[in-house]
């Protein structure tokens, strides 16, 4: 009798453990661009690949945002797919094909609305974050070819349940007030510069900045005072002089801010620019190995890590913020595409596409911690992004 009672209690405890509540704060996603899948990863003392979720379509240029509770990831695919992934149960919760070619999107401040920016058909679409039911379709301005609309880039979330984005083909920045997501209100800023290729928002949610590919400089919109229009800043930034071929465009969401300064990847040059945030002026130029793509700041703001376009995409350089000097060049492996710090900065995860691996490094000792298998990995997204604006 006692034996049976002990066995029953053991099974009860085992079952309770199997269904114990899970946390998602140390989880994240790795995009496997060649196979239409994502890996769910867990950081910590023993970095781990938890699971693989398949069936997400074309992820050749994919991005992800997270729900407020950090349980769900919303993945934007190049085939126009919007996929909601439950990172605790390792399943697709919902998926829709909402357009023909998407390169990104955002989640609203309150976590209730998803905005997807489209190259095709051109414009953004709003969806209910819970069900992925469509809420609104906002076509972009028509191009010189009236058969198509402008391509949307640089979609970010902004305070007050707003979204902000740029139109590459027509040189515009649009604001969307989505407080009534079925009837969104639009504000349009025209003639902001030629070919805005990406956009970002400052951490306080006040300033939206669009990078310009077609001319020197950047376009700045103060969201506290949008009635003042778009200001042109940093005329010495960009493809001035005789530019090098641009093998991969830098990502403005890879800008890194610290102590009133922002580090910006140069376009068509082997330079990281240091910007004074208060006056929107250039402070310094740091010579680096190649054309920078992403610059990510260690959470304690002591270091910035930089990766590069081809042919230097096997290296990563580390910049010391106090001296503004490159202090180490790391030979990571061919095809470094993305880097992501853990929330408190004890690890940095690096995707190495051409070796089918993700590497985890100690950013203090500058030594590798772990190497994990991954199928042509690209973007790495930690769930802690859920608490940050514009990511």
Asked, for residue 293, whether it belongs to a domain, the answer is no
Mean pLDDT rounded to a whole number for the chain:
90
Query: How would residue 249 be classed by pLDDT, with cut points 50, 70 and 90?
Result: low
Sign of CA dihedral 291, 60, 95, 154: positive
Query: What's 175's domain CATH number?
Result: 2.130.10.10
Q: Would you say residue 250 has pLDDT above 80?
A: no
Distance CA 340, CA 329 (A): 17
Asked, for residue 339, whether it belongs to a domain, the answer is no
Q: What's the confidence (pLDDT) of residue 212?
A: 87
Distance CA 151, CA 304 (A): 31
Question: Structure tokens of 23?
Answer: 């946390």
Query: How would residue 10 be classed by pLDDT, with cut points 50, 70 and 90?
Result: very low
Query: How would residue 14 be classed by pLDDT, with cut points 50, 70 and 90?
Result: very low
Q: What letters, b where the CB count within 10 A reaches 16 and e where it falls short, cover 31-58?
A: bbbeebbbbbbbbeeebeeeeebeebbe
Q: Which residue matches tokens 């940093």?
A: 234
Q: What's the confidence (pLDDT) of residue 101?
A: 85
The set of residues, in sequence order, having a beta carbon less than 8 Å from that of 57 and lying 6+ positions away, is: 36, 77, 78, 79, 81, 83, 97
What's the rounded mean pLDDT across residues 256-267? 79
Higher-confidence residue of 242 and 193: namely 193
First and final CA of the chain: distance in angstroms? 59
Asked, for residue 248, whether it belongs to a domain, the answer is no
Backbone angles phi, psi at 241, to 5 degrees: 70, -145
Q: What's the confidence (pLDDT) of residue 254?
A: 61
Higher-confidence residue of 16 and 245: namely 245
Asked, for residue 153, whether it belongs to a domain, the answer is yes
The set of residues, in sequence order, having a beta carbon less than 8 Å from that of 245 and lying 6+ positions away, is: 268
What's the rounded mean pLDDT across residues 195-213? 89
Q: Which residue matches tokens 């102590």?
A: 259
Q: Read off the pLDDT of residues 120-132 as tens digits, 9 standing for 90 and up.
A: 999 999 999 999 9
Query: How would residue 27 be classed by pLDDT, with cut points 50, 70 and 90?
Result: very high
Most confident of 8-12, 28-32, 283-287, 299-303: 28-32
Q: Could you write out the DSSP letters of every residue in 133-185?
A: -EEEEEEPPB-SSTTSBPPEEEEEEETTTEEEEEETTTTEEEEEE-SSTTS-E
Domain count, the chain: 1
Q: Would you say residue 146 has pLDDT above 90?
A: no
Range of the domain at 129: 98-233
Distance CA 358, CA 377 (A): 7
Query: How would residue 316 be classed by pLDDT, with cut points 50, 70 and 90?
Result: very high
Task: Show the CA angle centred on residue 360, arms to residues 354 and 364, nearest 5°.
Answer: 130
Distance CA 122, CA 118 (A): 5
The set of residues, in sequence order, having a beta carbon less than 8 Å from that of 14 and lying 6+ positions away, is: none
Distance CA 118, CA 216 (A): 25
Percentage of the residues of the chain whose pLDDT score is greater than 90: 73
What's the rounded mean pLDDT across residues 308-322? 95
Q: Would you say residue 244 has pLDDT above 70?
A: no
Distance CA 150, CA 194 (A): 13
Q: Would you say residue 71 has pLDDT above 90?
A: yes
Q: Would you say residue 222 has pLDDT above 70?
A: yes
Asked, for residue 119, whether it belongs to a domain, the answer is yes
Full 3-state SS string of 324-352 = CEEEEEEECCCCEEEEEECCCCCCEEEEE
Distance CA 197, CA 214 (A): 9
Q: Would you say residue 300 has pLDDT above 50?
A: yes
Distance CA 31, CA 62 (A): 7
Burial of 383 (0-12, 13-18, 19+ CB in 10 A): buried
Q: Would you say residue 383 has pLDDT above 70?
A: yes
Q: What's the confidence (pLDDT) of residue 16?
A: 44
Query: How would residue 204 be classed by pLDDT, with cut points 50, 70 and 90?
Result: confident
SS3 75: strand
Asked, for residue 144, whether it belongs to a domain, the answer is yes
Q: Which residue matches tokens 């390792």?
A: 90
Q: What's the confidence (pLDDT) of residue 390?
A: 84
Q: Read off the pLDDT of residues 76-133 as tens digits, 9 standing for 90 and up.
A: 999 999 999 999 999 999 999 998 888 899 999 999 999 999 999 999 999 999 999 9
Backbone angles phi, psi at 281, to 5 degrees: -125, 155
Q: What's the confidence (pLDDT) of residue 12?
A: 45
Question: Structure tokens of 22?
Answer: 């899970």
Distance CA 220, CA 137 (A): 26
What's the rounded mean pLDDT across residues 275-287? 89
Q: Read off the pLDDT of residues 338-350 as tens digits, 9 standing for 90 and up.
A: 999 999 999 999 9
Distance CA 212, CA 210 (A): 6
Please give the C-alpha separations between residue 207 and each of 153, 164, 257, 329, in angstroms, as whole numbers: 16, 10, 13, 33
- Is pTM, for the whole model, over 0.85? yes
Asked, for residue 210, whether it belongs to a domain, the answer is yes
Query: How would residue 19 be classed by pLDDT, with cut points 50, 70 and 90?
Result: low
Percentage of the residues of the chain whose pLDDT score is greater than 70: 89
Q: Is the peptide bond before 278 cis (omega within 30 degrees of 0)?
A: no
Q: Read off the pLDDT of residues 320-335 as tens digits, 9 standing for 90 and up.
A: 999 999 999 999 999 9
What's the rounded mean pLDDT across residues 288-305? 93
Q: What's the confidence (pLDDT) of residue 213?
A: 84
Cα-Cα-Cα-Cα torsion 279, 187, 151, 213, nearest 10 degrees, comes to: -20
Asked, for residue 251, whether it belongs to a domain, the answer is no
Q: What's the confidence (pLDDT) of residue 243?
A: 57
């Amino acid at each position: 009798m006692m034996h049976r009672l002990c066995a029953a209690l053991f099974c009860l405890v085992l079952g309770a453990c199997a269904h114990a509540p899970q946390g998602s704060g140390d989880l994240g996603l790795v995009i496997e661009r060649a196979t239409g899948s994502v890996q769910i990863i867990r950081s910590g003392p023993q970095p781990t690949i938890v699971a693989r979720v398949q069936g997400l379509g074309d992820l050749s240029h994919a991005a992800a945002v997270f729900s407020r509770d950090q349980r769900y990831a919303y993945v934007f695919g190049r085939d126009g797919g919007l996929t909601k992934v439950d990172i605790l149960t390792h399943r697709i919760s919902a998926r829709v094909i909402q357009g023909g070619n998407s390169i990104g999107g955002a989640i609203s401040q309150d976590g209730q609305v998803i905005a997807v920016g489209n190259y095709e058909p051109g414009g953004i679409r709003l969806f209910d974050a819970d069900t992925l039911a469509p809420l609104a379709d906002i076509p972009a301005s028509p191009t010189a070819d009236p058969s198509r609309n402008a391509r949307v880039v640089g979609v970010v979330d902004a305070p007050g349940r707003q979204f902000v984005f740029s139109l590459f083909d027509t040189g515009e920045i649009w604001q969307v007030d989505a407080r009534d997501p079925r009837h969104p209100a639009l504000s349009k800023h025209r003639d902001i510069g030629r070919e805005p290729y990406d956009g970002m928002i400052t951490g306080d949610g006040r300033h939206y900045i669009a990078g310009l590919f077609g001319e020197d400089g950047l376009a700045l919109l103060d969201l506290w005072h949008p009635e003042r229009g778009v200001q042109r800043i940093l005329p010495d930034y960009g493809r001035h002089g005789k530019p090098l071929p641009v093998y991969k465009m830098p990502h403005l969401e890879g800008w890194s801010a610290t102590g009133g300064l922002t580090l910006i990847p140069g376009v068509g040059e082997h330079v990281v620019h240091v910007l004074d945030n208060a006056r929107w002026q250039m402070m310094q130029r740091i010579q680096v190995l190649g054309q920078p793509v992403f610059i990510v700041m260690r959470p304690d703001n002591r270091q910035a890590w930089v990766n590069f376009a081809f042919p230097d995409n096997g290296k990563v350089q580390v910049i010391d913020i106090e001296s503004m000097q490159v202090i180490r060049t790391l030979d990571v492996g061919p095809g470094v595409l993305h880097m992501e710090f853990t929330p408190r900065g004890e690890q940095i995860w690096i995707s190495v596409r051409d070796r089918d691996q993700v590497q985890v490094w100690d950013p203090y000792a500058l030594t590798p911690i772990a190497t994990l298998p991954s199928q042509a990995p690209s973007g790495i997204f930690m769930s802690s992004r859920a608490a940050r604006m514009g990511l």
